[in-house]
Amino acid sequence: MADGNHFISWGGIACSVIGGAIHLFSWRKGREADQLEKVEKVDRISDLKSKAKHLPVLVAVSGKVWTDAPLKCELVGRNAAIAEVREEQQFMRQVNSGEWVRDQHVVRQTWREAPWCLEDASHVRLPVIQSRLARRLHLELAGDMFTPAEKGVTQRALDQLMGWRVLGQRHKERILPVGATITAIGELAASSADTAACKGAISLGHPHSILVLQAPQGGGPFILSYEKLPEIIASLNRVSRTCKLVANCFIGVGTVLITIKVIQGACRFLHRRKIRKRLDAEARRRRLLQEQNGVHANGNRTARPGPHRHEEEERVRDHDLCSVCIDREADTVFQACGHMCVCEHCAINLVRCPLCRTRSRTIRVFRT
């Protein structure tokens, strides 16, 4: 019997671990919001020239997407600076139980990006590079088209026998359209003109050196979003608070479950310890009575048992007591193991034998 398991609440431990994981996620979102609050907000792209003396620096700037060589969308006739195409084959497959389930796998996934920049009202431009590394890159769904598979009767019958039925192709395209106003948060740095392809960028005075926005080299926020900076910070804080509340609920429930389990285990341990002490005392008492009866029998071999001898035997029988309450006579037997160690009153609340911990039904025994 593993008494240590009585002190362990696996449900409480699971709740605490889940709460800790959610709390870690909440802390990361809160830290990201704190980092964004320290980012320098620049109203116009032309004002970034004053930051050239402190490069690299984290900035947040808004502007319209512009590119001299826009990409043509595959599904719609729109111009885009970034286009992500995902093509999936959707099919039905038959599982072992005979049921048909819907599934899919990616056939083609491409990423196209033209050299692009942000432009303000004064037509000053800020090239954006490494945009695929953005932590939050919001692309607009430009098209979602499903092309059903064309099959004959023979092919459909073969698919039915093979447990594989192709439904068709699904084509999705997400883009960053030209002319969209976005907020870019990243590291302002210097770059050579051959890597920055947008004309009209802010020159630093050095040959072929202009300002660009890129992913922070030492780690930090790099976000391209349709939301403004205050909206992004408010969204992160809201997620952080919600996750922290959920985490505290899980941790609280886990703590309560663990505490209840420990208290129940401690009470059970103390109760068993008390029972063992009573049983040991009763065993010593029985041995003493047997020794006294043995001495009496050796000294009076020819004598008939008197009334006092029957009284002693009755006392020995009376001490065959319930191992739970140590008060009433044990008159109930556990059917699975055969132990008769509890009284009828205590057996009502028991589902396991207190001696061998076997789960069993109980049967009342009547003595004659």
pLDDT digits (tens, 9 = 90+) for 259-277: 998 888 888 888 888 878 8
User: Does CATH number 3.40.50.920 belong to domain 271-364?
Assistant: no
Indicate whether 96 pLDDT > 60.
Answer: yes
Domain ranges of the chain: 47-220, 271-364
Question: What mean pLDDT value characterizes the chain?
Answer: 82
Residues 3-27 have a mean pLDDT of: 85
Tell me the whole-structure pTM to 2 decimals: 0.64
Q: What is the DSSP letter of 305?
A: P
Q: Where are the beta strands (DSSP E) in 205-265?
A: 209-214, 223-225
Which residues sit opposite 94 in a β-bridge? 100
Q: Where are the beta strands (DSSP E) in 95-222?
A: 100-113, 116-119, 125-128, 136-137, 140-148, 164-177, 181-192, 209-214
Indicate whether 309 pLDDT > 50.
Answer: no
Predicted confidence at residue 298, as pLDDT, reads 59
Residues 117-129 have a mean pLDDT of: 86
The tens digit of pLDDT for each residue in 147-192 reads 888 777 777 777 777 777 888 889 999 999 998 899 999 888 887 7
Nearest to 183 by CA among 236, 131, 130, 118: 118
Gap between the Cα atoms of 346 and 323, Å rounded: 9
Relative to beta strand 116-119, strand 125-128 is antiparallel
Gap between the Cα atoms of 359 and 368, Å rounded: 28
Residues 194-212 have a mean pLDDT of: 68
The tens digit of pLDDT for each residue in 275-301 reads 788 878 877 887 888 788 776 655 555
The tens digit of pLDDT for each residue in 36-75 reads 888 888 888 888 888 777 778 888 998 899 888 889 988 8
Gap between the Cα atoms of 338 and 329, Å rounded: 16
Nearest to 297 by CA among 286, 306, 318: 306
Residue type, 358: T
Q: Residue 285: phi, psi to the nearest 5?
A: -65, -40
Predicted confidence at residue 86, as pLDDT, reads 92
